[in-house]
Amino acid sequence: MQRILVLNPKGGSGKTTVATNLASYFASIGDHPLLTDDDPQGSSTRWLRKRTAEQPVIHGIATFERNSRVTRAWQMRVPADAGHVVIDTPAAVPAQGMPDLTRNADAIIVPVMPSDIDIHACSKCIADLLLIAKVRRDEHRIGVVANRVKRNTRIYQSLMRFLETLRIPIVATLRDSQNYVRAAELGIGLHEMKPAQAAQDLDDWRPLLAWLKARELARGPSESTPPVAAGI
């Protein structure tokens, strides 16, 4: 089982967009993923509730909700058929909370938007991952996703120059597309749309999916997986 953490303490970076579309992709290939919503705003949970029984299976856990009828451990259990766990983290994650959050993550995806504010926030996030969470570069667990970009703009060029200085791989560049808006409204992902409708956006996702596959192969099948979703 691969555990994928989508993380950026700054709100509005596109964490839910990345997390829901990843879950949709894994569901579309029959992996029955678990989408864990750690954000009290509940955006991933609302997206899940729009899905119908006819759509590919995505398990969901809203970790911010409490159910008095079951134990916390039972609520947080990972379904036996889940091939991947995708965690949509909250905004404003404190730096001191990152070690626990990232400890069992096989891949850490940091989405960043092309703006001066987002670039600064991404810089701090990467620094906290390296210095406080002690995620080593040579583990190759961190990947940056440039989100909602318009390639022929000055701020996009500034973003790419900044990302190159981090010495962290840019695993995808996602264009600013209305397909993401439609997918969020309908409770689907790009990989559940008609290929002709989302062809350009699907091309954007191929490097990210290839990076995740490489991380999964590097991890190997013999490593144990914790039985609950809490704290990944």
* Structural domain contains residue 232: no
* Structural domain contains residue 188: yes
Q: Which backbone phi and psi does 5 adopt, to 5 degrees?
A: -100, 125
Asked if residue 92 lies in contact with residue 38, where contact means CB atoms within 8 angstroms, the answer is no
* Structural domain contains residue 230: no
Give the model's pLDDT for residue 77: 85
* Structural domain contains residue 225: no
* Structural domain contains residue 229: no
Quick one: average pLDDT of 63-83? 78
* Structural domain contains residue 152: yes
> Is the four-CA dihedral 194, 18, 210, 85 of positive or negative sign?
negative
221 vs 32: which has the higher pLDDT = 32
Q: With 90 as the cut, is the pLDDT of residue 29 above it?
A: yes
pTM for the full model? 0.91
Asked if residue 231 lies in contact with residue 103, where contact means CB atoms within 8 angstroms, the answer is yes
CA distances in angstroms from 138 to 82, 100, 157, 207, listed in the order given? 28, 20, 27, 19
* Structural domain contains residue 231: no
CATH number of residue 191's parent domain: 3.40.50.300
Please name which of 209, 174, 173 lies closest in space to residue 25, comparing C-alpha atoms: 209
The domain tally of the chain equals: 1
Give the model's pLDDT for residue 74: 62
* Structural domain contains residue 37: yes
**143 three-state secondary structure:** strand
- Residues of the domain holding 185: 2-219
